[in-house]
Homo-oligomer: A and B are copies of this chain.
Amino acid sequence: MFAAGTDSWREYGPSQLPEVLQSALRVFAERGYEGASIRGLAAAAGLSVPGMYHHYRSKQDILVNLMEHALVDLIARCREALASAGPEPAARFDALVECMVRFHMFRRAEAFVASTELRSLEPGNRARCVALRDELQGMVADVIEEGCAAGVFSTPYPADAARAVSTLCVGVATWYREDGPLSPDQVVERQLVLLRNLVGRR
């Protein structure tokens, strides 16, 4: 049912993020960037305020690090997922969806903040992160178009379908709870079923 091949994109050990960023992530996820204060971030990190500035030049800098880390990690995993999926559009689609869904469950806070706080980035930083996000959306769009071209997907609106697929994968971060009723594998399965339908998989 899942894509075959190398599986490192499916593995989620403990976060690689520096501890300061991990705690910042929790705070940003809970209160939003504007709602978080450096004092709060420092307290969450067990640091003093200047201690935070020793590690990061500004509050914005913390957010940027967080967001780029998340996006870069997700993109890398998606690439691996596609690579391991082989050439069949259906398998590629499944791998991509599975990869994104897993990421949005296992890196929930990263993913949530990355999708929520784009607006809080200063123009230059935003541009860089938007470019990364667009890269991701491009991967989804490409896979769907391949599928349509190959006749395995039948949706008449591949571009809109691609946006919907992205939206729903990202949305997982909004509602998924580790202690919820569904196992991660079940969530993946259900999203796959819904999204295959959405693109009109035959």
Query: Which residues of A pack against B, CB within 8 Å?
Result: 31-35, 119-120, 155-157, 160-161, 163-164, 167-168, 171, 174-175, 190-191, 193-195, 197-200
Choose among A31, A168, A174, A200 the residue with the greatest number of B CB atoms under 10 Å from its CB.
A168
Select A156's contact among B34, B157, B193, beta carbons within 8 Å.
B193
Closest chain-B Cβ to A182's Cβ sits at a distance in Å of: 9
Please, how many angstroms separate the alpha-carbon atoms of A119 and B191 in the complex? 26
The answer, among B35, B160, B171, for a CB contact under 8 Å with A194, is: B160
16 examples of A-B residue contacts, CB within 8 angstroms: A31-B34, A32-B32, A32-B119, A32-B120, A33-B34, A34-B34, A35-B120, A160-B190, A163-B175, A164-B171, A167-B167, A167-B168, A167-B171, A167-B174, A194-B198, A198-B198
A15 vs B86: C-alpha distance when bound (angstroms): 52
The one of B34, B35, B168, B198 in contact with A197, judged by C-beta atoms closer than 8 angstroms, is: B198
**Which residues of B have CB within 8 Å of A175?**
163
How many angstroms from the CA of A168 to the CA of B169 in the assembled complex? 11
Interface centre among A190, A195, A200 (most CB of B within 10 A): A190
Report A139 CB to chain B, min CB distance, Å: 18
| A175 and B167 alpha carbons, distance in the complex (Å) | 11
A156 / chain B contacts, CB cutoff of 8 Å? 193
B34 & A193 in contact (Cβ 8 Å cutoff): no
Chain B residues with Cβ below 8 Å from A32 are 32, 34, 119-120
- A8 → chain B, closest Cβ, in Å? 28
Q: Are A190 and B34 in contact (CB under 8 A)?
A: no
B120 & A193 in contact (Cβ 8 Å cutoff): no
Which of chain B's residues have a CB closer than 8 A to the CB of A120? Answer: 32, 35
A24–B72 CA distance with the chains assembled, in angstroms: 36
Q: Nearest chain B CB to A175's CB is how many angstroms away?
A: 7
Please determine whether A190 and B157 come into contact, CB atoms closer than 8 angstroms: yes
